[in-house]
Amino acid sequence: MEIVSSVKDFQFLLSEGRNSGKEIGFVPTMGALHEGHTSLIDTSVKQKKSTAVSIFINPLQFSAEEDLDNYPSSLEKDEEICINHKVDILFCPTQKEIYPNGPPEPEEIGEIGTILEGKSRPSHFPGVATVVARLFEIVGKSCAYFGEKDFQQVKVVNDLVKRRQFPVEIVACPTIRQVDGLALSSRNAYLTQDQLTDASVLYRALTVGAESILNGEKNSENLKKLISDVVKSESKGDLDYVGIVDSETFTPLNLLNDLGEQVRILIACKFGNARLIDNIGVVVPET
């Protein structure tokens, strides 16, 4: 595995891969790698891509009161993980390499980025879109792998690719979970053992909501209350939101009327100092 920090060296290695006839698979991360990340890497490797991983903690997607200074970092461990999962290139740039002229103007985002997570964290998606746009400019033609745990982020990035016409195909990969259903996240490292147990309520609550849809419930407000009640009655979590949207358009839904409609239930909740998000997909059944 090659490890580089400069854009010039990274692009040279990407060119070498392309010249040898390989397509590029790209996994952008902020480090603190876990099985969710390695599932993305493994998908790229299995698809016989020349696989590149970036590790860059992007300050633009953190607001002043968020956890930038304490965001988990484990570069030596991350390097070992990448080697074990057959990564070809590990790109670990400095702030100067990514933003050579200082922080740029935030990238525009569409309406998808203004609701739910975008409403709770207004600077988050502009920051994500800005760094992703910069990374895509550097990497060029590629397949980029993102986890569905950050489902709204996947939609924001897809919208960015279409708007900026990047030669990048976005590949969304399934959420990786613990045995108790808790979605893997770098922020899980902030949780005590009791909080980890508590946080497993998120998947239970999402599953209750999905089962209710499958049993015929079509009113979103009823579904949100049902899911919220599970979180509040079974944990000490501080619930931020429950959202129900069309999986394709990300349009918020009031009534689930269309048979076969693909629905996504999203949730955000704080446990101790960690704010966690999760989601689940469900198809509206014929009644």
Query: To 5 degrees, how large is the angle CA 92–CA 140–CA 113?
Result: 80
Asked whether 133 and 158 are in contact (CB, 8 A), the reply is: no
Note the Cα 189 to chain centre separation in Å: 17
**How far apart, in whole angstroms, are the C-alpha atoms of residue 245 and residue 191?**
29
CA distance 183 to 122: 23
Write down the residue that tokens 């893997």 correspond to: 184
Q: Is 37 a catalytic residue?
A: yes
Which residues have a Cβ under 8 Å from the Cβ of 42 and sit 6 or more positions away?
85
The count of other CB atoms within 10 Å of the CB of residue 84 is 11
End-to-end CA distance of the chain: 54
| Residues across the chain | 287
The residues that are catalytic are 37
